[in-house]
Amino acid sequence: MAPGFPLCINGVRIRTSEALYQACRFPHLPDIQRQIIDERSPMTAKMRIKPLKKRSRQDWDSVRVKIMRWCLRVKLAQNWRTFGELLLSTGDLPIVEQSRKDDFWGAKVSKDGSLVGMNVLGRLLMELREILKSGDIEGLKLLEPPPITNFVLYQQPIEAVRAAETSFDLDIGVKKRGIPPMQIKPVQSSLFAQPTRPQVHNSSTDGSPRDGVTIIKGYPEYKDSGQPFLGEIPAHWDLFRNGRLFSQRNETGFGELPILEVSLKTGVRVRDMDNLKRKQVMSDREKYKRAAQGDIAYNMMRMWQGAVGVAPVDGLVSPAYVVVRPFPEVDCRYFSYLFRTTSYMNEVDAYSRGIVKDRNRLYWQDFKRMPSPVPPVEEQRHITRFLDTVGSKAQRFIRNKRRLIELLKEQKQNVINQAVTRGLNPNVKFKPSGVEWIGDIPEHWDARKLKFASKMIVGGATPASGQSELWDGDVVWVTPQDVSKNERLSSSARKLTSAGFASCSTVMVPPGSVVVTSRAPVGNVSFAEVQLCTNQGCKAVVPDERYLLNEYCFVLLKVMQPVFQKAANGTTFFEISTWAFENIKAPLPPTSEQEAILAEIKEATSTIDQAITRAQREIELMREYRIRLISDVVTGQVDVRGIEVPEVAEKELLALEEDTADADDEGDMDETD
């Protein structure tokens, strides 16, 4: 399924219909659903489930076509104009999903060049196209979930989906392709509709509120830009190639200046050389390029991902970067906002050159040929001030939600700690455990070393990095980075081949094992959903269920994180050895009581989990709002000229680095550093 048609189900943002379809395989596994939905493309969503197919719902083969039909209709309902136009543009031609392997959903090319297969996906698309052409769209207005048992997302029944009421979107569709309009009230409206002229509920161009909400409208007059990625732009804006707006700066020999880094998340900033997580040896600083304050610098290999920004001070960037200085009619902060929009980054990708996509580079010669919309310079500055103000408010909102999430997590952990170390019965008699960190425990509990409550506790290893035959196979190979990102492990960022597994001393552990990071950092904990092995930065615990249940082991070891950290030592970095780890004592109730504690924890923390999920969703929605608003404003889809905005203080601009807590990109410096 093609990307670019995002969905919203039960209030959950889903980037692609492929992710929605694949998530429906696992109604009984909400963590796996979440991992699938977090994938950024249809292909990665599909690849995510490969090792998990055996865990699909038992009736998957009998319900998958019904689910696919429903997914396609949701895709149309929530992307009415864009997907509808795409379907109608095929006319009466057959729609065939050509595939090398799959002759069920698609068709394979035979030796004589003909396509052979059931082509179920193509047939469903043609079925939907015929409904759209007939104008009989009543059945598309309200999409009830298919009549399938256990049709849930994140353990909640999937609700009916109404098509979004987006009149500016639908009316254009009617004019262009004859797509029938839908005048209906949304239940689950599209969060991602792509209006030609959006109206943003923020402030009105005349400054007057309407029923407590003010509106930003489009410009009074537009013209065709001649560029498909821009469409129409305000009539008084220009369209210039970047060579008309910037000149290249190639100045070296300023070794005394600070080092700057270009971050995917935050643009250009001064590099903190004292607190780098991965130390880098700086080559001859005299060869580094000077970026003057106010210049734009970009990473040639990562510009298509948004690695571009304005230099906050005079500084140095990698010789592999491009530095451009603005001409007088240019406000660099406006263009920094523009260059980081999705539509412009896609255009950057088209202008970049290289043998492999991931190694493509945007050279100065190509950058200067790229077209950009150019408002009058005073309007550029006003747009920048407006977006800075909105960004500052959005950051304060996100920061407060993050604080709330941390408090909720702390509250949840207190509930768990109490249950795991003291039990559920407040009237039980206690006895000394003999272990400092545990203190007193219920008299019928035992304080047992981890090695005596486990079948095995093992470390891991890494195959030789330079041998391609050892890598990119099907063996899940977990590193501390995987553990830090996932509480439930069903895959890994890198995998081994069977030869890679056999080439080193790593050990395979079964599903239900618990993985603990032994360094970088010490004490993060994840639960193994699948068979896996680890590198040397992890310990894998296989519980002995006579003494320690798998899920209880997971909860217990999370509580013990400070204990593991205290037991770690080292000079270059802190690490806990296998011997030290397995000899730590833990409080263990009988297994029947472990089951009761797990049930109590689940019930007691469910409300907290829901509050955390809501806060995380609100952060995500705020980010989506800001990203969309930036795109609409810098491309002229909405007019903010009449809105008075205050100057944002420099310290507040620095606070716009809202994603630094979520990403250790450390500037994403080029490998030539």
What is the tens place of the pLDDT at every residue in 403-434? Answer: 999 999 999 999 999 999 999 998 999 999 98
Phi-psi group of 150: left, alpha or beta (phi > 0 → left; psi -120 to 50 → alpha; rest → beta): left
Domain of 39, in residue numbers = 7-177
Question: Rounded to 5, what percent of the chain is helix, strand, coil?
Answer: 40, 20, 40
The arithmetic mean of pLDDT across residues 151-162, rounded, is 90
Q: Which of these three, 160, 177, 194, is where a domain ends?
A: 177
| Domain end among 177, 209, 232 | 177
In a domain, 611, yes or no: no
User: Would you put residue 299 in left (φ > 0), alpha (ψ -120 to 50) or beta?
Assistant: beta
Tell me if 466 is assigned to some domain: yes
Is residue 53 situated within a structural domain? yes
Higher local confidence (pLDDT), 224 or 183: 224
Give domain status of residue 372, yes or no: no
What's the confidence (pLDDT) of residue 84? 86
Q: What is the structure's pLDDT at 296?
A: 94
- From 137, 162, 177, the end of a domain falls on 177
pLDDT for res 182:
40
pLDDT tens digit string along 563-597?
999 999 987 789 999 999 999 999 999 999 999 99
With cut-offs at 50, 70 and 90, classify the pLDDT of residue 655.
low
What is the reported pLDDT for 349?
85
pLDDT in tens, 56-91: 998 998 899 999 999 999 999 888 888 888 888 888
Could you identify the residue written with the tokens 């088209």? 350
Residue 550: name the closest of 516, 507, 591 by CA.
591
Let me know: does 289 contact 640? Beta carbons within 8 Å: no
Domain CATH code at residue 84: 1.10.357.40
Render pLDDT for 471-503 as a digit per residue (tens, 0 to 9).
999 999 999 999 999 999 999 999 999 999 999
In a domain, 441, yes or no: yes
Would you say residue 499 lies in a domain? yes
Residue 189 clears pLDDT 80, i.e. is over it: no
CATH of the domain at 560: 3.90.220.20
Per-residue three-class SS string for 57-103: CCCHHHHHHHHHHHHHHHHHHHCHHHHHHHHHCCCCCCCCCECCCCC
Split into its structural domains, the chain has a count of 2
Residue with tokens 């005048």: 183
Domain membership of residue 570 (yes or no) is yes
pLDDT of residue 423: 93
Amino acid at 22: Q
Q: Is residue 263 part of a domain?
A: no
Quick one: pLDDT at residue 165? 44
Amino acid at 575: E
* Average pLDDT over every residue of 517-531: 94
